[in-house]
Amino acid sequence: MKLGVFAVLFGDKKFQEALDMIAEMGLESVEIGTGGYPGDAHCNPKELLSDESKCHKFMKAIDDRGLKISALSCHGNPLHPNKEISDMHHEQFQNTVRLAEMLEVETVITFSGCPGESNSSLFPVWVTCPWPEDHTEVLEWQWKEKLIPYWSEQSKFLAKHNVRVAIEPHPGFAVYNNETALRLRNECGVNIGVNFDPSHLFWQQMDPVSCIKEIAEHNALYHFHAKDTAIDAQNTAVNGMLDTKSYREELSRSWIFRTVGYGHGEEMWRKIISTLQLVGYEGTISIEHEDSLLSVEEGFQKSAAFLKNILIKERVGEIWWA
């Protein structure tokens, strides 16, 4: 396994400056944002696809620092009811796939998307319970009329370009856990897998170790994000885990995203890394930063040091059997 970082956390820096910081920390790979919600501060696929010299300069900056691209990421909602948004995210996804083929990058990462409740919707609708019956009807409609048709077509497009997609299970989108991720893969194509991010599972009360094993059994573990979640026991005890308050209201929320090690300790993360090793994952552990309590630089450095220590122990055989 390699240690890398999702470079969008350095979106306010020039690409070469960001790469220097990544290389200086001793990381081996970089995940590049190409659109969608993370944006394309360092990589505009349309520009690189149309300008060979720009594409060469882009790759040279990465190669010169001894780094490899782990994935191109355009986390978006290609099923958004607002056609302007869905068309933009769809175009960014397809251009990202084309660029991945050109750069010989195997994996593109995005979200499954979330439709509305009908063709006349203005906003996405995430269904979280089966009753009243309206919710079940909406969910069935979303999968039959939107998700399966769209991703079946994208599976063909991916095959044409010899690229695979890693869908990140994320609450608020149709694919948010193992069951929905595997349903999409089974319904639409085996080149549709998972970008595994434990932070989205922790607050759903899912066990990342068990989830990794199940996803790996289906050969669907394509990429991995290293991000943590801290759960506030008091707020959870009185309000539960579903929480719509701003991420900036840290004191009153049931949970917040944290730097790895600040939500769950070394024991949990060693179990996660050991399980990745046990199931044969040879890809990148890609650091993602969404911790509102630490600066980008501090969160990045602490994550890198924390994970490097665990990976070093793994490489000398200190496996934590899960």
What average pLDDT score do residues 231-260 get? Answer: 97
Report in angstroms the alpha-carbon separations of 266 from 171, 193, 197, 270, 272.
Answer: 25, 27, 17, 6, 10
What average pLDDT score do residues 50-64 get? Answer: 97
What average pLDDT score do residues 247-276 get? Answer: 97
So what's the pLDDT on residue 86? 98
pLDDT at 211 exceeding the cut of 90? yes
Structure-model confidence comparison of residues 320 and 103, the more confident one: 103
What's the mean per-residue pLDDT of the chain? 96
> What's the pLDDT tens digit per position in 170-180?
999 999 999 99
Nearest CA among 259, 129, 104, 243 for reference residue 251: 243
> What's the pLDDT tens digit per position in 154-173?
999 999 999 999 999 999 99
pLDDT at 56 exceeding the cut of 70? yes
Helix H, strand E, coil C: the string for the chain is CEEEEEHHHHCCCCHHHHHHHHHHCCCCEEEEECECCCECCCCCHHHHHHCHHHHHHHHHHHHCCCCEEEEEECCCCCCCCCHHHHHHHHHHHHHHHHHHHHHCCCEEEECCCCCCCCCCCCCCCCCCCCCCHHHHHHHHHHHHHHHHHHHHHHHHHHHHCCCEEEECCCCCCCCCCHHHHHHHHHHHCCCEEEEECHHHHHCCCCCHHHHHHHHHHCCCEEEEEECEEEECHHHHHHHCCCCCCCCCCCCCCCEEEECCCCCCCHHHHHHHHHHHHHCCCCCEEEECCCCCCCCHHHHHHHHHHHHHHHHHHHHCCCCCCC
Report in angstroms the alpha-carbon separations of 36 from 73, 95, 244, 259.
Answer: 8, 12, 22, 23
Where is average pLDDT lowest: 7-21, 45-59, 266-280, 306-320? 306-320
Tell me, what amino acid is at 166? A
pLDDT at 285 exceeding the cut of 90? yes
So what's the pLDDT on residue 182? 98
pTM of the model: 0.96
> What's the pLDDT tens digit per position in 20-47?
999 999 999 999 999 999 999 999 999 9
So what's the pLDDT on residue 312? 81
So what's the pLDDT on residue 143? 98
So what's the pLDDT on residue 47? 96
pLDDT at 319 exceeding the cut of 80? no
Rg (CA), the chain: 19
Q: How many CB atoms lie within 10 A of CB 24?
A: 9
- Domains of the chain, earliest start first: 2-315 (3.20.20.150)
> What's the pLDDT tens digit per position in 118-128?
999 999 999 99
pLDDT at 322 exceeding the cut of 90? no
pLDDT at 215 exceeding the cut of 60? yes
221-226/192-196 β-pairing: parallel
Q: Which two tokens stand for residue 243?
A: 């929480």
What average pLDDT score do residues 252-276 get? Answer: 97
